[in-house]
Amino acid sequence: MAVDLKWRDACLASRAFTAAEKAAGWPAAMTPEQLAGIQRPHLISDIEARNRKWALKTAIVDAVKARELSAGKEVAYVSRRQTEGSRHGQEAWRMWKASGRANFNYDFRSIPGRDYCPPVVYEDVHQTRNDILPADFAAWLHAQGDEPSVHVRNWFEARSVAWPPVVGADEASLFPLPDWAALVRYRTSYTQAGKRAPSWGLGNQLQTARAELERRQAGGASKTDAGDVMGRELGYQGNAPHKQLFKALFSERKKNPPAGGLESVVRHAVGKKQA
């Protein structure tokens, strides 16, 4: 479709899209800022709604860092920045003007004309970033108990992503996980392949991990020590891997998921089953 009104409406909701991105249509993946803009659009004058949008962006970034949300789409892009020589020339010229042109130890002959500021010169910088695929965002959003905005729903539809999201039968057959060892194998199979592990809200992962933590505490280990050992078994790095594990297990939205396994088709949500 040459003109997609749904996409143009989404671009109005978020100013994070470049002219080239707008011309290309619905993207294969989006940045946290773009997602926050179309998930929580707002009027410029609505400060409260704007703060909610930036809070969502921060939450998305934190979820990616915590490996709760995958950002597996590598995107090449070009940004522009002022060249170092241009920046130095402008700063030197401003210092020379502020000095009153007297008793200033600077070779102003290097500044053309001396009485006007050197022009700003830009250069193209080729970079890459990791954007979020629609299927991954759908799984995370559903696990949070949130509903997509009309713009996000249109993105899912344009990219053939179902809402509510479901996993394939092969994935569903893995649940319920029988024990902690099975959970470790399940999650590390992703990280060892260079992928981000699925949401903790899928299947009975939370119940299994919490039960294992209680078992180790009953055996005499402190909660922190047990969490550190379990975190390292999952491949978490750092001096305190229990912090990353506990953040996944005890965040406010995941405290009391319903017990039970998965049906034949499982939604990416905290303990929720396909009706």
Asked whether residue 179 falls in the same domain as residue 116, the answer is no
Tell me, what's the pLDDT at 199? 82
Decide: 262 and 175 in contact? Cβ < 8 Å.
yes
The answer to whether residue 180 sits within a structural domain is yes
What is the chain's alpha carbon radius of gyration, rounded to the nearest angstrom? 25
- Residue 222 in domain: yes
Is residue 40 domain-resident? no
pLDDT in tens, 122-164: 887 777 777 888 888 988 898 888 899 999 999 999 888 888 8
Statement to judge: residues 199 and 99 lie in one domain: no
Residue 218 in any domain: the answer is yes
Counting the structural domains of the chain, the total is 2
66: exposed, middle or buried (C-beta count within 10 Å: 0-12, 13-18, 19+)? Answer: middle
- Report in angstroms the alpha-carbon separations of 100 from 89, 95, 96, 105, 115: 17, 9, 7, 12, 12
pLDDT confidence of residue 212: 93
Does residue 117 share a domain with residue 172? no
pLDDT in tens, 72-125: 666 666 667 788 887 887 787 777 777 665 544 445 455 554 556 677 888 877
What is the sign, positive or negative, of the torsion defined by CA atoms of 113, 114, 116, 119?
A: positive
Inside any domain, residue 264: yes
**Residues 123 and 185 reside in one and the same domain:** no
Lowest mean pLDDT among 53-67, 199-213, 261-275: 261-275
Q: What is the pTM of this model?
A: 0.49
Look at residue 211 in the predicted model and tell me its pLDDT. Answer: 93
Percentage of the chain beyond pLDDT 90 is 23
pLDDT greater than 60 at residue 233 = yes
Question: Which of the four pLDDT bands, split at 50, 70 and 90, describes residue 166?
Answer: low
- Residue 111 to residue 241: CA distance in whole angstroms: 55
Looking at the domain assignment, is residue 90 inside a domain? yes
- 267: in domain: yes
State the average pLDDT over residues 169-187: 78
Q: Are 121 and 181 contained in the same domain?
A: no
Indicate the average pLDDT of the chain.
78
Closest CA to 126 of 77, 172, 92, 83: 77
Domain that includes residue 185, residue range = 166-275
Residues 189, 111 share a domain: no
Q: Same domain, yes or no, for 199 and 95?
A: no
The percentage of the chain sitting over the pLDDT mark of 70, rounded to a whole number, equals 76
Contact 204, 240 (CB under 8 A): no
**Predicted pLDDT at 117:** 67
Q: Of all helices (H) and strands (E), which one includes residue 126?
A: strand 122-131
Do 180 and 100 fall within a single domain?
no
Of residues 77 and 50, more confidence is placed in 50
